[in-house]
């Protein structure tokens, strides 16, 4: 868990430094170059900094060892951090939309051409960073890093919208100067969509939603493949950070001694954990495999 958290933290720290540099460049270039879409994009990057700090804090807490107060560990801090990031995205999207609508109704200068080059560089950098963070999230199973990755994709998409808006404003002339602001409005919609994308897995984890069916089937197959197991049922799985905890009822020969039943349960635990390495704990309920009432013996 700590190794996984350290890798996620390093990725978030790198993104944090890059966001700070890009946000400064975009805000200054937007103000000087008369581009509200670029300013809005810079504001979104500034909010990304806050979101990355939240993710960083969540990963730090999640890496703590389990204790008496939190016997299952602190893994849920990741999902909580991701949910907070989603709320931050919603706030950013609403704020940019309100400001863009105000700018649309206010006459202003067309953006400067050099703002396009700023945005082009941002789009490339952010897309590369998104892919890097997404890979880290996939290998670590971190909900928080996944949220931070989509933050970077959101920034790349808002920069793309700003690029299109500024291009139209420069191509069509002063009459199309507000295209820049319409681009900011589109960017706000993109941010809101990404907020939903980030919130869904975080809420699912906080609500103890069961993982995908193929994972459940792999666990059932591993348990039933153990010699001496006659059946399994009531298999329940919940995610806790990057780890999974399993609860399953195992049916076996009713004549087994308590010692033999204990040994068999240990084999089932080992089989499940070998099948899914992310499984941190397995609770086995041993049951006698006896005919139901009304069935022949």
Per-residue pLDDT, averaged over 199-217, amounts to 86
| 259 and 191 both lie in a single domain | no
% of the chain beyond a pLDDT of 90: 20
| Domain boundary, last residue among 172, 206, 240 | 206
- Confidence band of 297 (pLDDT split at 50, 70, 90): very low
| 133 and 245 both lie in a single domain | no
3-state helix/strand/coil string of 10-57: HHHHHHHHHHHHHHHHHHHHHHHCCCHHHHHHHHHHHHHHHHHHHHHH
| 229 and 96 both lie in a single domain | no
Give whole-number Cα distances, 288 to 40, 232, 246, 249, 260, in Å: 65, 11, 20, 10, 13
The pLDDT tens digits for 45-71 are 777 777 778 877 877 887 788 788 888
Q: Which of 192, 199, 194, 197 is nearest to 93 (CA)?
A: 192
Per-residue pLDDT, averaged over 171-183, amounts to 69
**What confidence score (pLDDT) does residue 296 get?**
44
pTM above 0.85, yes or no: no
Q: How far apart are CA 133 and CA 219, in angstroms?
A: 29
- Confidence band of 175 (pLDDT split at 50, 70, 90): low
| 228 and 149 both lie in a single domain | no
Per-residue pLDDT, averaged over 99-108, amounts to 73
| 47 and 148 both lie in a single domain | yes
Whether residue 143 is predicted with pLDDT greater than 80 in this model: the reply is no
Q: How far apart are CA 254 and CA 294, in angstroms?
A: 18
| 30 and 118 both lie in a single domain | yes
Q: The CATH number of the domain where 221 resides is what?
A: 3.30.70.1350
Is residue 97 within 8 Å of 157, Cβ to Cβ? no
**What confidence score (pLDDT) does residue 103 get?**
73
- Name the most confidently modeled range: 149-158, 167-176, 234-243: 234-243
Per-residue pLDDT, averaged over 254-280, amounts to 92
The pLDDT tens digits for 230-255 are 999 999 998 887 788 999 999 999 99
Question: Would 31 be classed as within a structural domain?
Answer: yes
| 130 and 153 both lie in a single domain | yes
- Confidence band of 295 (pLDDT split at 50, 70, 90): very low
| Domain boundary, last residue among 206, 241, 276 | 206
Provide the domain limits for residue 135: 2-206
Is residue 79 within 8 Å of 85, Cβ to Cβ? no
| 6 and 137 both lie in a single domain | yes
**What confidence score (pLDDT) does residue 246 get?**
94
């Amino acid at each position: 868990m700590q190794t996984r958290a350290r890798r996620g933290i390093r990725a978030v720290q790198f993104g944090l430094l890059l966001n700070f540099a890009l946000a400064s460049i975009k805000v200054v270039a937007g103000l000087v170059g008369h581009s509200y879409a670029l300013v809005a994009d810079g504001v979104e990057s500034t909010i990304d900094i806050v979101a990355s700090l939240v993710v960083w804090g969540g990963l730090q807490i999640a890496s703590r060892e389990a204790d008496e107060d939190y016997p299952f560990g602190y893994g849920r801090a990741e999902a909580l951090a991701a949910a907070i990031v989603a709320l931050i995205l919603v706030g950013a999207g609403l704020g940019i939309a309100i400001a863009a609508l105000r700018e649309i109704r206010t006459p202003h200068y067309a953006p400067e051409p050099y703002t396009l080059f700023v945005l082009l560089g941002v789009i490339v950098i952010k897309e590369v960073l998104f892919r890097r963070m997404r890979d880290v999230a996939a290998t670590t199973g971190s909900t928080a890093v996944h949220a931070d990755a989509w933050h970077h994709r959101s920034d790349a998409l808002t920069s793309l919208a700003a690029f299109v808006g500024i291009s139209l404003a420069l191509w069509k002339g002063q009459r199309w100067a507000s295209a820049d602001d319409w681009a900011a409005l589109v960017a706000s919609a993109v941010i809101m969509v990404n907020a939903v994308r980030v919130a869904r897995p975080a809420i699912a984890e906080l609500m103890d939603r069961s993982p995908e069916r193929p994972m459940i089937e792999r666990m059932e197959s591993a348990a039933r493949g153990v010699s001496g197991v006659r059946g399994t049922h009531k298999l329940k799985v919940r995610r806790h950070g990057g780890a999974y905890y399993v609860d399953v009822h195992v049916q076996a020969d009713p004549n087994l001694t308590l010692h033999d039943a204990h040994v068999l349960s240990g084999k089932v635990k080992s089989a499940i954990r070998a099948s899914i390495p992310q499984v941190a704990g397995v609770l086995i309920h041993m049951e006698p495999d006896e005919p139901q009432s009304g069935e022949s013996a």
